[in-house]
Chain A
Amino acid sequence: MPKKTYVVALNEALGEEMERDESVFLIGQDMKRGAFTVTIGLEGKFGSDRVINSPLSESAIAGACVGAALMGQRPVGEIMFGDMLTLAMDQIVNSAAKARYLYGGRNHAPLVIRTANGNMGRGIGPHHNQSFEAMFAHVPGLVVVMPSCAADAKGLLKAAIRCDDPVVFLEAKSLYRIKAEVPDGEYVLPLGKCDIKREGSDLTLFVTGPTVNKALKAAETLQAEGISVEVIDPMTIKPLDIATVLKSVEKTGRLVIAEEANRTGSFGSEVAATVAEKAFHALKAPIGRVAAPDTPIPASMFLERVYMPDETKIIEAVKAAMK
């Protein structure tokens, strides 16, 4: 299978969907190239009518996506960094998320807000590394997607563009330049379905976004020590396919949740609460959680490494749950 970077996979998804459907267009800042070359070449191919370069205005970008979507277009708006979604919060939460509901179903807002999300691991500081999936998962009407690898990124972005509901698409920017297997040819992944990335029998490891790779490496290490870990990647954070998670926990009896975001009110806390609510009697050990501490992300790369959940912390949590 060919190997492509996450960025190339996204670029292919955008190009394919724009080819397939005239109503798909892009809007964002610096779209000729993009901060990370995700959109490179698309303006040349599709023209400036469909690859729109916006002034530095996150709220207007997101709100314009809503207005255009309500008129029958399928906008894909880019917010440069996941942290900056906070600048577009009102339009995403109050306009995009509620459109279908407040029209009584008579209209809807098919749009994607995609962003370079999460920790970069390069010391780019407190305002360029955050991961707010929990905040958006909290809002009724939004679809929240976190692709954990290049192949998923392509299939999920195509699905997001075809989805008739507003999608917040959180790309794992720490994986942007990493080459991984991406199938050639047309494929679309399902929204609202977990992907079991690795089957196992001793413990369920529920993990999101870029932390999935760390979890898979941890699972390899643990396998060598005789611990069989089942790695579940939800792909779609909201709506969550909780059935797959519950089925796994009923099988293994142990759960560790690993994520990049700050601990308090994280998306993992929702998963922990739901599993405790619905599969309490299947649990043989307390639910383990691996998340970032409740601090901002410092610019010092040394402190950033102290902050970030990693393979070691995941292995520790799994072993604690195996006691």
Chain B
Amino acid sequence: MSKLSTEDKIKMYYYMLLTREFEAMMGKLLVDGKIDEAIHRSIGQEAVCVGATYAIRQKEDVMVPSLRSRAAFFVKGLDVNTVMEAVFCRRTCLSSGKESSHHLGSTEHGIILTTGFIGSQYPLAVGAALALKQKKTDQVAMCYFGDGATSRGDFHESLNMASVLDLPVVFVCENNQVAWHTPIVGQMKNQDISSRAVGYGMPGVRVDGQDVVAVYEAVAEAVERARKGEGPTLVECVTYRYAGHTEYEPNWKTGRTEEEYNYWRERDPIDILEKALFENQEMDEAKKTEIQEQIKREIDESIVYAESKPSVLPEDLYTDVYGSEILSVLT
């Protein structure tokens, strides 16, 4: 496992800030009536997807996102233009306007199209890992999911199957301690999700999800294990969501107390990394400004890009339900 360089940490800072600013812009676009997507902001939990996705190979490894993994798309190599094009549901976007930007698949970037159901994504990652094992490469699969998602049966079936079959998959839980309005105490009796790993005979690791370096290190270790054929790991990153479940939430603090919220608001992952970088003199105000300006420019340009792309047409509704081979004789 390689140690993170200054350059790596600055990149991670960039990805976290990009995600936050991108989603803030999405919020503005929604209010302005320019987009339709029901935004699931990841504000407050950016370090989890950035730290974890940074620990896998950008091109060759495979990732299955959760509904709140936008940062992972950027780290995995989707550029800002491509993501914004999908936000605008353009005809030319990665889903041809058929899916929301937070569910996208891209084979070229090792991103598996995820499901719209919370907790149905694990078997997709298990299957991907199975294919990788069959191909005898050292590639790994990564699966993202939240705390609420672990209450589904597919969680059990998939971790069980992955461990029995010794598959190269890392399960990364973005435990933001709430599922819509239901706090974690309403979701499970034992709130240490990583402790379930024992039941599956796999290592379970619990890490501070606000510390992007700690997330990276824990996940990188798990990835290394998977790559060596030592099977799956469950990594639980404890984090917090500073917004509602979706953008349409007037009372988005429901299910959480003011003290709890304030405690976690003080532990902003971007501030934590920034503070560390400044203290180690790995970043200064000039560099910070440069990154902020770069992000603003990239986002503004991506909107111009997306708006220049063609809108979907009525006939697009009917395409890609089946491949054309279905009606031809196969002998």
Contacts and interface: CB of A to CB of B under 8 A. Distances in A.
Interface of A: 25, 27, 49-50, 52, 54-55, 57, 59-73, 75, 90-91, 94-95, 99-108, 140-141, 143, 158-159, 162-165, 187-193, 239
B107 A188 contact: no
- The size class of the interface chain B forms with chain A is 35 or more
B123 A71 contact: no
A59 B98 contact: no
A61 B154 CA distance: 10
Given A73-B134, A91-B120, A141-B322, A64 B127 contact: yes
Interface of B: 62, 64, 93-99, 103, 105-107, 112-113, 115-117, 120, 122-134, 141, 153-154, 157-158, 160-161, 164-165, 319-323, 325-331
Contacts of A62: 123
Given A60-B154, A100-B321, A165-B322, A159 B112 contact: no
Contacts of A159: 330
Nearest to A67: B127
Contacts of B141: 67
Given A59-B157, A163-B330, 12 more contacts: A52-B165, A55-B160, A60-B158, A63-B123, A67-B128, A68-B127, A70-B127, A101-B98, A101-B321, A102-B98, A103-B105, A239-B327
B128 A71 contact: yes
Central interface residue in A70, A140, A163, by most chain B CB within 10 Å: A70
Contacts of B132: 71
B130 A143 contact: no
A102 B102 CA distance: 12
Contacts of A101: 98, 320-321
Nearest to A192: B327
Contacts of A71: 62, 112, 127-128, 131-132
A58 to B, nearest CB: 8
Contacts of A192: 326-327
A112 to B, nearest CB: 13
B154 A68 contact: no
Give the top 10 A-B pairs by smallest Cβ distance, nearest first: A67-B127, A63-B123, A104-B96, A64-B127, A71-B131, A60-B157, A57-B157, A67-B124, A105-B320, A68-B127
Contacts of A189: 330-331
Contacts of B165: 52, 54
